[in-house]
Amino acid sequence: MTARPAAGGGTGARAVASRLTGLRATAERPLAGTLGEVVLDGGAVVVVKRADTPGAARAEAAGMRWLAATGTVRVPAVRGREGPWLVTDRVASGRPSAEAATRFGRDLAALHACGAPAFGAPPPDGPEDAFIGSAPLRNVRGDDWPGWYAEHRVLPYLRQAVDDGSLHHAEAAVVERVCARLPELAGPAQPPARLHGDLWNGNVLWDPEGHAWLIDPAAHGGHRETDLAMLQLFGCPHLERVLDGYRQRAPLADGWRERVSLHQLFPLLVHTVLFGRGYAEQAVAAARAALAA
C-alpha cells in the first residue's frame, strides 16, 4: 500500500473516507470492482465502496445497521454514507474453523429470530426500491409468505429473464407451476425473519479469531429458510456445522431440506437476469425439484 498526502476535498475514495470519518487518510489500495481500502491516521483501515446504481448505498447502509442492531451476528460498523459512497470498517482476513461455523449458525438463528414487521419489510431507514447485487429488489410488504414470495421474489425476475431471452417460455411455465402450488409447497407457516437477503459465501467473511462477519446485505423481512438455502447454493465452509449450530438454537420445520430448491429459485432467477443462460438452466432444475419434493 503506497502512502501519499491526504486529499483535502473531492470525490475520490480517500477524500470520502476522510470526510466521513473525520480522520486524515494516509494510504489507499484498490480492491476488486468499485471497492478500495483506505488507511486512516492511527492505523485503522476502512473499506470504501462506490455504488453503481442510485440508492444502493443507502439500502446497504440501512441493512447493515438493521442487522447490527440485533447484537447477534457480526457486521462491520458503517462509518458513513454520502451519495453513492459507503464507508465501513474492514474485516481482517482469517480462516474459519468448525467451531466458528457452529457459532455462526447459532448467531444466524438469533438474527432471524429478531424478526421483521412483515414479509418484504425493508430496514426502518431503508428504501422500498433496493438491490440484490446490481439487480433491483422491491421491498413490498405482504402478510402471506407464499403469495409474497411468488409476486415479489420469483415472478419479477422470471418475466425479466423471459424478456431478455435467457429463459424460454416452456421453461418459464415450470416456474409458474411452482408459484401456483406455493401454498402447498411452502411448509408450515413461519413468522417474518430478519434476513441478510444475499447470504452467499462471498458475503460471509472470517476474521483471524474465526468469527463470521456479514457484508453486502439485501436485508428485508423474509422466510428464514431462504438465507440458509442461499448458503447451500453457493457453498460455505463447514456448511453442515453451520446448519447444526442453527438448529441447536432454532430447530427447523420438518421437510426443510426438501424445500431448499424452492428457496433457491429466487437467487437463481436473479443470477439469470444478471448473468444469463447458465443460471436459467439451474433455475429450471430447481423448479422441477421443488415440484417433485
Question: Which H, E and C letters describe 227-284, residue by residue?
Answer: HHHHHHHHCCCCHHHHHHHHHHHCCCCCCCHHHHHHHHHHHHHHHHHHHCHHHHHHHH
The one-letter amino acid code at 100 reads A
Catalytic residue list contains 143: no
Q: How far is CA 251 from CA 113, 184, 226, 255, in A?
A: 12, 21, 15, 12
Q: What does DSSP assign to residue 132?
A: E
Catalytic hit among 41, 125, 144, 198: 198
- Residue 17 pairs with which residues in a beta bridge? none
* C-alpha closest to that of 232 among 108, 99, 76, 73: 108
> In the chain, what is the straight-line distance between the N-terminal and C-terminal CA atoms, in Å?
52
DSSP letters for 167-186: S-HHHHHHHHHHHHTHHHHS
DSSP letters for 13-62: HHHHHHHHHSS-EEEEEE-STTEEEEEETTS-EEEEEE-SSTTHHHHHHH
Give the integer Cα–Cα distance in Å for 149 and 153.
Answer: 5
Report whether 282 contacts 268 (CB < 8 A): yes
The one-letter amino acid code at 167 reads L
Joined grid coordinates for residue 83: 451519495
Which residues are catalytic, by number? 198
